[in-house]
Amino acid sequence: MIKRDKVSDLLKSTEFGKEVTVMGWVKTFRNNQFIALNDGSSLSNIQVVVDFENTANEILKKINTGAAIKAIGKLVESVGKGQSVEVKATTVEILGESDAERYPLQPKKHSLEFLREIAHLRFRTTTFNAVFKVRNALAFAIHQFFNERGFFYLHTPIVTASDAEGAGEMFRVTTLDFDNPPRDEEGKVNFKEDFFGRSTNLTVSGQLEGELGAMALGQIYTFGPTFRAENSNTTRHLAEFWMIEPEVAFADLEDNMNLAEDMLKYVIDYALKNCEKELEFLKGRLLDEEKNKPQAERNELNLIEKLRFCLDNDFERITYTEAIEILRRSKPNQKKQFNYLIDEWGADLQSEHERYLVEKHFKKPVILTNYPAEIKSFYMRQDDELVNGKKTVSAMDILFPGIGEIVGGSQREERLDRLEARMDEIGIPKDELYWYLDTRRYGSAPHAGFGLGFERLVLFVTGMTNIRDVIPFPRFPKNAEF
């Protein structure tokens, strides 16, 4: 058994004079005497003061940035600035050396782009310790939120044969030999001989299976990886990302909006309470980053003010139709500053429009509802009344400042005849989704759900600006490193 004291515990301790054992990685070593040591348990380092007169020179010269050491000594009240305690070491042992010339993480500021290249080591920086601490807190808060409300955490399948939802391009999953695949009589690749006896792919959403759970267990949520094989190299898209998808039986669009708003506020509040130091650090990081930007592009609120603002205000709820009216009359539309001008009902909203509504017009999170059926998915519930003679659906998207869409959901179409008619209309094969339709055949009921892109939430709460910096090992076109 390895006995050690965690840095996070020592930093809170007042047991001065006690002998302690710390282990961690050297961040800096100053004046042959002061080690800033970090073991991951805290954003802050602990200062270890080396008795350099009684420490062998060959040890001293191995106390380099990145080295792992073990130090035994007394916990004492610190006289220096910036820390309350320090360890006055009697012995220092090198656990693992670090060649100062070759170690990629020098004690200086590195760009996020550079750190992305060494994602296996970036966990050792203060920024990424903070980011992954917040990510961890948000994940736990999500589980706790749903657990307190009696939801079942349901693991929907990752490999599916369902290619019917049309939510995006998919990755094939196969064990067939590319060089010599089995072929059928017509010479086509015979996926009946593939591992699962059919053509399979990575899931784009657990929603359809989640609905099966909700229509029996009442309330479920998923929290798992989803995939898009889209060739988009942006700061907002990943090929592999994590989604949270609750589904609730006996719920309508309003229940759905309430659940989503409650959930977002709950998890942001949890992060504020449990990651105070980390958010304070990230606030400073963002302010630094924004110094290089023109005033107009800087946020009016700092990171923590922005999070508090989300908690303290009701999200604005308006229909798509109302939003189009606001956008049509808006300055950037009148002055033709939008790249895509809004001139008629039915247009799909672009990021610039969403940001205008959230950041300029309402200055708070906005829930848009009742979108045109044309631009939404087949499973969304058709509204009873037409708008401008066109069909709308009980959809809702939640738009956040700086992020755009963070949640997308809807009441689901529970009426078998309507659902089938819509599937026929847009060519979705009903036989492949017989199991989905069965929930409408046997004991159908109103129900609703939504999807939350987890990395977008982490992006929002941490104030990071590139989605590749909020997941440990990002997957995007031409990149599957580590």
Tokens (6 digits) for 143: 């589980």
End-to-end CA distance of the chain: 31
Closest CB to a second copy among residues 282, 327: 282
> Which region, judged by CB under 8 A, interacts with a second copy, from 21-29, 260-268, 337-345, 351-359?
21-29
Binding to a second copy (CB under 8 A): which residues in 431-470?
435-436, 438-446
Residue among 41, 55, 319, 351 that touches a second copy (CB under 8 A):
41
Q: x/- site string to a second copy, residues 64 to 83, per CB under 8 A?
A: --xxx---------------
Report how far apart, in Å, the C-alpha atoms of 446 and of each of 104, 210, 290, 394, 458 are: 56, 15, 46, 12, 31
User: How many Cα atoms sit within 13 Å of 285 on the Cβ side?
Assistant: 20
> Which region, judged by CB under 8 A, interacts with a second copy, from 11-19, 37-45, 81-89, 264-272?
37-45
Closest CB to a second copy among residues 217, 326: 217
> Which region, judged by CB under 8 A, interacts with a second copy, from 144-152, 260-268, 377-385, 396-404?
144-152
Binding to a second copy (CB under 8 A): which residues in 372-391?
none
Q: Is 413 in the site for a second copy (CB under 8 A)?
A: no
Adjacent-strand bridge partners of 429:
none
Angle at alpha carbon of residue 360, lines to 354 and 364, rounded to 5°: 75
Is the Cα torsion angle 363, 367, 369, 372 positive or negative in sign? positive
CB 156 within 8 Å of CB 247: no
* Three-class DSSP category at 296: helix
> Which region, judged by CB under 8 A, interacts with a second copy, from 178-186, 357-365, 376-384, 460-468?
178-186
Nearest distance in Å: CB 12, a second copy: 12
Nearest distance in Å: CB 174, a second copy: 5
* Three-class DSSP category at 400: strand
Tokens (6 digits) for 411: 């009441």
Residue among 17, 150, 389, 427 that touches a second copy (CB under 8 A):
150
- Which of 420, 461, 433, 417 minimizes the C-alpha distance to 279? 461
What CA–CA distance (Å, rounded) separates 14 from 76?
Answer: 8
Closest CB to a second copy among residues 357, 464: 464
CB 307 within 8 Å of CB 461: yes
Residue among 140, 338, 345, 362 that touches a second copy (CB under 8 A):
140
Binding to a second copy (CB under 8 A): which residues in 86-115?
95-99, 102-105
Q: Is 217 in the site for a second copy (CB under 8 A)?
A: yes
Q: What residues have CB less than 8 Å from 253, skipping those under 6 apart? A: 369, 381, 394, 396, 410, 411, 448
Nearest distance in Å: CB 327, a second copy: 28
Question: Residue 161 phi/psi, 5° resolution?
Answer: -100, -5
Nearest distance in Å: CB 385, a second copy: 19
Binding to a second copy (CB under 8 A): which residues in 312-371?
none
Binding to a second copy (CB under 8 A): which residues in 240-279?
240, 242, 249-252, 254-255, 258
What CA–CA distance (Å, rounded) separates 242 from 224?
Answer: 5
Adjacent-strand bridge partners of 36:
28, 47
Closest CB to a second copy among residues 158, 167: 158
Q: Is 121 in the site for a second copy (CB under 8 A)?
A: yes
Q: Tell me, by CB under 8 A, how many residues bind a second copy.
A: 114
